[in-house]
Amino acid sequence: MPLPRFIMFDLDGTLIDTAGEITEAVNRTLAEARLSPLPLEQVSGWIGKGTAWLFGHALAAATGGRSGHDSALFEQYYPRFLALYAEVTGQLSSPYPGVPDALAALHRSGCQLGVVTNKERSLTLQLLDRHGLRHQFDVLVAGGDTPRGKPSPEPLQLALRHAGVAAGEALFVGDSSNDVQASRHAGVTVWAFNHGYNHGEPIATAGPDAVIDSFEDLMARLGVTRA
């Protein structure tokens, strides 16, 4: 495709592999609640719909379904989960191979770049700062910036307004069915990595316009060189 004027990226599972630190925060919280830890593979399946959604599912799994989003246990321990997550954010995660160079090359090519995530703004900024990526983005839409998060199109639509770009001039790059659905409803072309967190399902089943293997593959498809 011609180089888009605006490329939006999801964060967790797309730009940065955060499953390890999210699992660490979940399990530290469960330990304080005297509940057994959960495996990384299980926690990874809940990434992408925001921290409250994720922790509610983790709590339900750890209690055998006795406690979830609407429980007293959730109300007691969700604030503690957020605090523990803030402690580890950026410490046990890493950008996927090629991310810094790819973002720099896209910026040099004249593209506006954005992050559109369901993660809370404070945690998003902390994560981007920790990995030295914040300065690469012209637009940031995080959890709570719109009434509904992805898979609603509202976050993408807000990002498009901030960038001053029409949907047909943009590309969204993500890793989950949430990203695909949000892009479809916003009228934006969507490509998806197969290295992310798509709730345990192959990303191809979500029907993105393209499945991409790596940031090297992304750059090749866009016709942008890193030099």
Per-residue model confidence as pLDDT tens digits over 146-189: 999 999 999 999 999 999 999 999 999 999 999 999 999 999 99
Is residue 10 annotated as part of the catalytic site, yes or no? yes
Q: Are 226 and 209 in contact (CB under 8 A)?
A: no
| Residue of 10, 12, 17, 179 marked catalytic | 10
- Give yes or no for residue 22 having a pLDDT over 90: yes
Question: For residue 226, what pLDDT is reported?
Answer: 72
What's the CATH number of domain 6-17+95-222, 3.40.50.1000, 3.30.470.20, 3.40.50.1820, 3.90.1110.10? 3.40.50.1000
CATH code at 19-88 = 1.10.150
pTM, two decimal places: 0.93
Other beta carbons within 10 Å of 54: 24
pLDDT at 227 over 70: no
- pLDDT for residue 55 is more than 90: yes
Q: Can you name the residues that pair with 9 across neighbouring β-strands?
A: 115, 173
Give every CB contact of residue 13 below 8 A, 6+ residues apart in sequence: 19, 47, 48, 175, 176, 193, 195, 196, 197, 198
CA dist 195 → 71, 104, 113, 221 (Å) = 33, 21, 21, 17
Mean pLDDT for 133-145 is 96
Q: In CATH terms, are 6-17+95-222 and 19-88 the same topology?
A: no
- Are 195 and 217 within 8 A, CB to CB? no
Task: Assess whether pLDDT exceeds 90 at residue 104.
Answer: yes
